Structure 1
Amino acid sequence: MLRKNWFGAGGSAYAQFRPEYPVALSTFLAKVSPTRDMAVDVGCGNGQLTRQLATYFDRVIGVDPSEDQIANAQAEDKVRYLCAPAEKLPLPDNTASLITAAQAAHWFDLPAFYAEARRIAVENAVIALISYGVLRLEPDELQERFIDFYHNEIGPYWPTERKLVDTGYADITFPFNERAAPEMEIHRAWELGDFLGYLSTWSAVHRVNDAGREDILTAFVRDISELWGDPAKKRPVSWPINMRLGTI
């Protein structure tokens, strides 16, 4: 059985508010790949990383089980999007030089996905499971209110898979020859509306709404708005990038 796709109805918001990865990430992945013939981005969402890989690879395939996510994917030369689960990739054997899963692997049936990755991989292909951790806001008073909201107020509403993201995939099974990955971060300057739009894409926020606890969200929006001040003021936002990198 396929796992529930918590973002199945949020492709447009996801495309608008989810942060883009730094160019350094795709540059690094291309550098360590054995060839640049084809990259496959699994659980691609609307293609944040997929499009960047197209700068370096002859062909890039983005695969996601959500039709809504694929419908909101931005077209790019050399990129083809397919609607399919990670556990059953509609791709030929021995074709992928790079296989990525960005902010997605925690939703997969990992043994089934790994079997598919081995099947489609060329010799010495690289596999990268990428995630970004809990965001950091500035100044400190914004961060303190946000962390209380994240851990204590909506913490009980996170799916269990979220714990894998919080630990940077350190506890995830990864049966490959592991390689070192450089430290990277995502940096943005956001208005209040950007920040709240990003939160609206979270699975925990969806579950809070489903549970009839909009009061949790209302109180947080009130508090963070007061601390933010002018809603048009751009505030620094950052996320640490975590990666499990290996050779198949």
Structure 2
Amino acid sequence: MAGQFDKQAETYLQARPTYPGEWYSMLAARTSHHSLAWDVGTGNGQAALGVAEHYEQVIATDISEAQLSFAMPHPRVRYVHTPESMSEDEMVALMGGENRVDLITVAIAVHWFDLPKFYKLAKRLLRKPGGILAVWTYNNMIVSPEFNTISKRLHEKSLPFWHANTKYAFDGYRSLPFPFESVGLGHEGEPLQLDIPKELLFEGYLKFLKSSSGFASAKEQGVDLLSEEVIKELESSWGGPNKVRTVTYKAFMLAGTVTE
């Protein structure tokens, strides 16, 4: 995923939703200790801040220095740039050794990873027993029937520009390999379905689209999916530029633990 979100890092920070506090509470309730958490692919730190409310220390890592440059500070969060060249043993050393991490979170990112490599590392790092890996994504925004008909048509036009890995996100992680024992928050093949409510102006919706890798890729290839005509149609269906809408992101979570 290196470089996928570097150019739109600031837009990503402005446009993306935060995750409900109860998500972190339900994860924390399932870990046996609350000393150390690792937020992988942290981006701007949206998930790291929520995790930090329940754990003494959060190490938040990303391969993108551009994303980390917009990370939001927190006294219990340590942001670390982890380039692709870092070895598995170096990552273990960064976390202080094996079997030390109580919670690993990956928000809207695990589908970009080398999954066998990441899962092997996660199993080394997670506390046994009691450590949990939780991954989640969202793949749709519900606004209104009319608006969603238009946005669906736009999404279909964008499909050729998305990376192949996004198939996991598009199907709500139903096809994502996840070799961990369920803790009651989804399991391989059947993720837990969740909602993320957010109040949004039309400008926020546009920033959301522009921060998506498929739309950014199309623009780099000289294809403007967001022409003036398309934007006007979307804005009219939204209800105008000053209309605040309560939208719902449809989210999906998988959480599991390691069995020895």
Would you say same fold, with TM above 0.5? yes
Compute the RMSD of aligned alpha carbons.
1.5
* Structure 2 counterpart SS, 1:40: strand
Residue in 1 aligned with 2:125?
120
SS at match of 1:131: strand
Q: Write the deviation string for residues 138-158 of structure 1: whole angstroms up to 9, x where unpaired.
A: 2x11111011111x2111111
Contact kept, 8 Å, 1:34 with 1:126, in 2: the verdict is no
- Which residue pairs with 2:103 in the alignment? 98
| Cα deviation, residue 244, structure 1 | 1.2
Q: Which runs of 5+ in 2 are unaligned?
A: 186-191
Partner SS state of residue 32, structure 1: coil
Instruction: Indicate the percent of aligned positions where both proteins have the same amino acid.
Output: 29
In the alignment, the residues of structure 2 paired with residue 167 and residue 228 of structure 1 have an alpha-carbon distance, to the nearest angstrom, of 26
Q: Deviations over 1:30-86 (max 9, x none)?
A: 111121111111011111010011111111111110001111000012110111158
Which letter maps to 1:24? E
Tell me whether 57-66 or 76-85 shows the greater mean CA deviation: 76-85
User: What secondary structure, in the 3-state scheme, does the structure 1 residue paired with 2:44 have?
Assistant: coil
Residue in 2 that maps onto 1:217? 226
Q: Secondary structure at the match of 1:122?
A: coil
Shift of 1:95: 1.6
Q: TM-score, normalised on structure 1?
A: 0.93
Give the conservation status (yes or no) of the 8 Å contact 2:2–2:64.
no
Aligned counterparts of 2:239 and 2:175: Cα–Cα separation in 1: 39
2:160 alignment partner, one of 140, 147, 156: 156
8 Å CA contact 2:2, 2:63 repeated in 1? no
Q: Number of matched residues?
A: 243
Partner residue, 2:252: 242
Cα distance in 2 between the residues matched to 1:229 and 1:135: 16
Give the C-alpha shift of residue 183 in structure 1: 4.1
Unmatched runs of 5 consecutive residues or more in structure 1: none
Counterpart residue number, 2:56: 58
Counterpart contact for 1:101–1:130, Cα < 8 Å: yes
Aligned counterparts of 2:120 and 2:6: Cα–Cα separation in 1: 25
Give the stretch that moved more between structures: 4-13 or 141-150: 4-13
Single out whichever of 220-229 and 114-123 deviates more from structure 2.
220-229
